Amino acid sequence: STYINPVPAKLIPESIFELEALGTLDICRNQISGNFPKLISKLRNLWKIELFHNNLTGELPVELAELNLLQEFDISANQMYGTLPPEIGKLKKLTVFHLHINNFSGEFPAGFGDMQFLTALSIYKNRFSGPFPENLGRYSPLNSIDISENQFSGGFPKYLCQNGNLQYLLAL
């Protein structure tokens, strides 16, 4: 019989979390596995996290909300699940938030309605439910939104088009 050695898991090296001046963490399309790292909260200067198209699992840790300089966040096409911590809605500098093609569920954090800089929101192919944040678009220059293939209830927020910037809305 033939024995094939299993491929070892590719984890984000813990030494990365010692790079306190790091501004961008881009490890996309690298077959990274394991849970989303709580240690990421040590990287206080991060403004961009791109971990899309990997094999990350688990829930988003509440520690992510400690990265108050974070502007761009993309963990699309992973195997993440669970509810989003409401604290993530307090990331006031966010401009891009992409977590499509995962398995998140529960209500989408209401705090996203208070964001002032959010331009792109892509959360399609998850299992979000309940109402959409009622103030979404009221304070932010939203340009594109894709909320398709979720289980939201109710109508679109009344302020969604208030700023006149929305060019792309997909809600299949």
Burial of residue 33 (number of CB atoms within 10 Å: 0-12, 13-18, 19+) = middle
Amino acid at 47: W
- State residue 49 phi and psi, 5-degree precision: -125, 120
Tokens 């961008």 belong to residue? 24
Residue 9 pLDDT > 90: no
Read off the pLDDT band of 7 (50, 70, 90): low
pLDDT digits (tens, 9 = 90+) for 72-95: 999 999 999 999 999 999 999 999
Percent of the chain with pLDDT over 90: 84
The pLDDT tens digits of the residues spanning 44-73 come to 999 999 999 999 999 999 999 999 999 999
What secondary structure letter does DSSP report for 47?
Answer: -
Q: Whose CA is closest to 94, among 115, 124, 63?
A: 115
Task: Report d(CA 80, CA 166) in Å as an integer.
Answer: 28
Question: Quick one: which of 125, 124, 110, 170 has its CA closest to 143?
Answer: 170
pLDDT digits (tens, 9 = 90+) for 139-170: 999 999 999 999 999 888 888 888 889 999 99
Sort strands 120-122 and 168-170 into parallel, antiparallel or unpaired. unpaired
Per DSSP, 10 falls in state B
Q: Give the chain's mean pLDDT.
A: 93
Q: What are the DSSP E strand ranges found in 71-166?
A: 72-74, 79-82, 96-98, 103-106, 120-122, 127-130, 144-146, 151-152
Residue 36 scores a pLDDT above 60:
yes
Please report, as a single letter, which amino acid is at residue 22: L
**Per-residue model confidence (pLDDT) at position 161:** 86
| pTM, full prediction | 0.92
